Amino acid sequence: MEERRYRSASGAPIALRCRQHSASCRELAVRCPRLQLRSLSAVTSAVWLAAYGLFVLSENSVVLSAAIFITLIGLIIYLHFVKIDQESLLVIGSLGIQVTSSYASGKESTTFIEMGQVKDVVINEAIYMQKVIYYLCILLQDPGDPQGVSEVVPLFQSSKPRLDCLIEVYKSCQEILEQRKTAPHQA
């Protein structure tokens, strides 16, 4: 179980942790940068200054309590629905791939894709604003067409690691995915 440091597409520091539970089971977790105290205090002070300015203009103290209320609710919503702390990939050969995102408030949202539906795991390029970034994605099999791809599931969307980190993850996944091709199915 080792942890290595990389950078995300926007330059923020991220960490990749790779754990091997057994010969056909691997867990890869990317930890996103934490919520900075600087930005949190900057936003809070901006909101409260604006509210105080409004209070001076309107002489109504409801503005101040409303500002506090809004800040608290906004922070709770941000932590519970927006800020992702860690994104992990659990690859279990012959069962499937599980993608988990854990939010800053502790909530975890999980999706499990069965191995029968997974066609391949590849690194794709995408144009994002003015940059070209790389992202890892799972290609799902089209049940009607054996050569076709029915859906593309992108991974690590909020941490956006760079190519060097993605290559590590890609190599780990491919080692396990290859096992299902070499092992013949029983008749």
**Residues 92/98, Cβ–Cβ less than 8 Å:** yes
In the complex, minimum distance from the CB of residue 23 to other proteins, in angstroms, rounded to a whole number: 6
54 lies in the binding site for other proteins (CB under 8 A): no
Interacting positions 113-132 with other proteins (CB under 8 A): 114, 116-117
Determine which residue in the list 1, 2, 22, 131 makes contact with other proteins, applying CB under 8 A. 22
71 lies in the binding site for other proteins (CB under 8 A): no
98 lies in the binding site for other proteins (CB under 8 A): yes
In the complex, minimum distance from the CB of residue 26 to other proteins, in angstroms, rounded to a whole number: 10
**Residues 89/173, Cβ–Cβ less than 8 Å:** yes
Instruction: Give the integer Cα–Cα distance in Å for 50 and 73.
Output: 17
In the complex, minimum distance from the CB of residue 98 to other proteins, in angstroms, rounded to a whole number: 6
Question: What are the start-end ranges of the E strands in the chain?
Answer: 2-7, 13-22, 25-31, 84-92, 96-103, 108-114, 118-128, 131-141, 149-154
